Amino acid sequence: MSGFLLQLGGPLQSWGEHSAFTDRDTVSHPTRSGLIGMIASAFGIPRDQAAADSEDGSGWTTGFGRLTHLRFTVRCDRPGTRLRDFHTVGGGYPAHRTVPTAKGGRRGAGMTTIVSHRGYLSDAVFTVAVTAPDDPGLAAECAQALAAPRWPLHLGRRSCPPGALFLLRAEVPDPVRELRTVPLARPRPGPVPGDEEPGRAPDSPATVSVRFTADTPFPTDFLAQLPADSPPGSPSSTSGRSSVSTLNDEPVRLMSRDRVYRSRPAYATSCRLPADLCAGHGLAYIDALNSYLHPSQPERNAP
């Protein structure tokens, strides 16, 4: 099952799931609607064509509808920090430019300002495996579009651009399994408190717990094999075969004034990966990622 790998690591991200009116939430990981919308932007699909099915009853799948065949498996490198911001709209304008009402008029004096609250994830990093098992060739087309997007890309909201590291690998034979080997964008954990022995320095953990989410059940062998140096009793969760929640993020239409979503089962699990995958931040992480992507190249000498 070939596909490609993305890294979503901009300064801010926002993945709304039940946003309404003045309360714009974010869930803790990228949503299907957000990722599909981002890829649709890369293809240049306009809002008036962002419908999963044709409206004439012909049964033909639209270009946007074809993107719903994509499947996403998300690895949480860093969960980030939740931020809650507020925005004001409509204040300080003359009467003819205040916020419009549903009846076609304008808000009157003393009611012109609307306050909205918006949630963000700050300093979060996710590595995403993208596949299309029911549509051969779709993943390759999407990777090509993301490498040279027609319109700007954003991480859930237009004010959240992606970081410089975005399309990690365009052609991966098994991107879901590859999530177990891509360097983690997090620092290596230090020694475990209380693990000291007289005359010996405390050891750092050999493995780290990593959270995964997906829109389909995880392969049965995905979590079956733990690293050989895992500490005794380290569990390999099997919850990835059963849905653990329901998200309202399956896009039906994403038009400007007509946004409709369906609910779908969400799958999540955790497993322990080697702590050696933890590559830290900044240049250290870029060096580790470069060694992963280009194993034949010599490492950059530290100054």
At 96-115, the pLDDT tens digits run 777 777 777 777 766 667 78
Helix or strand run (H / E) with residue 146: helix 138-147
For the cut 50, the answer to whether the pLDDT of residue 234 exceeds it is no
In one-letter notation, the amino acid at residue 195 is: D
Mean pLDDT of 217-245: 59
Beta strand pairing call for 245-255 and 81-89: unpaired
**Assigned domain for 41 exists:** yes
> Three-state DSSP class for 41?
helix
Number of neighbours of residue 77 by Cβ within 10 angstroms: 24
For the cut 80, the answer to whether the pLDDT of residue 195 exceeds it is no
For the cut 80, the answer to whether the pLDDT of residue 243 exceeds it is no
How many domains would you assign to the chain?
1
**Assigned domain for 91 exists:** no
For the cut 50, the answer to whether the pLDDT of residue 72 exceeds it is yes
Number of neighbours of residue 73 by Cβ within 10 angstroms: 25
**Nearest CA-CA partner of 243 in 214, 209, 222:** 214
Q: Please tell me whether the overall predicted TM-score, pTM, comes out greater than 0.85 for this model.
A: no
- Host domain of residue 38: 3-80+123-186+206-293
For the cut 80, the answer to whether the pLDDT of residue 259 exceeds it is yes
pLDDT at 231: 46
**Assigned domain for 302 exists:** no
Confidence of residue 143 (pLDDT cuts 50, 70, 90): very high
**Assigned domain for 287 exists:** yes
Cβ neighbours of residue 298 closer than 8 Å, sequence gap 6 or more: none
**Assigned domain for 117 exists:** no
Confidence of residue 236 (pLDDT cuts 50, 70, 90): very low
Helix or strand run (H / E) with residue 206: none
pLDDT at 196: 55
Confidence of residue 255 (pLDDT cuts 50, 70, 90): confident
Cβ neighbours of residue 38 closer than 8 Å, sequence gap 6 or more: 153, 154, 155
User: Two tokens at 140?
Assistant: 């390759």
**Which CATH number is 31's domain given?**
3.30.70.2660
The owner of tokens 């079956």 is 224
* Average model confidence (pLDDT) across the chain: 84
- Overall size of the chain counted in residues: 303
CA distance 34 to 250: 9
* Tens digit of each residue's pLDDT (9 = 90 or more) over 43-55: 999 988 988 876 5
**Assigned domain for 93 exists:** no
CA distance 243 to 241: 7
Who has greater pLDDT, 294 or 235? Answer: 294
* Tens digit of each residue's pLDDT (9 = 90 or more) over 165-182: 999 999 999 999 999 999
Confidence of residue 284 (pLDDT cuts 50, 70, 90): very high
In one-letter notation, the amino acid at residue 124 is: A
The owner of tokens 């918006």 is 118
**Assigned domain for 148 exists:** yes
CA distance 20 to 7: 28
pLDDT at 103: 78
**Assigned domain for 285 exists:** yes
Give Cα separations from 164 to 7, 11, 119, 147, 208 (angstroms). Answer: 9, 11, 23, 12, 26
Mean pLDDT of 271-287: 93
CA distance 215 to 245: 11
E-strand spans in the chain?
3-8, 12-13, 23-24, 71-78, 81-89, 114-122, 125-131, 167-172, 207-214, 245-255, 258-274
| Secondary-structure percent of the chain, ordered helix, strand, coil, rounded to 5 | 20, 30, 50
For the cut 70, the answer to whether the pLDDT of residue 302 exceeds it is no
Confidence of residue 238 (pLDDT cuts 50, 70, 90): very low
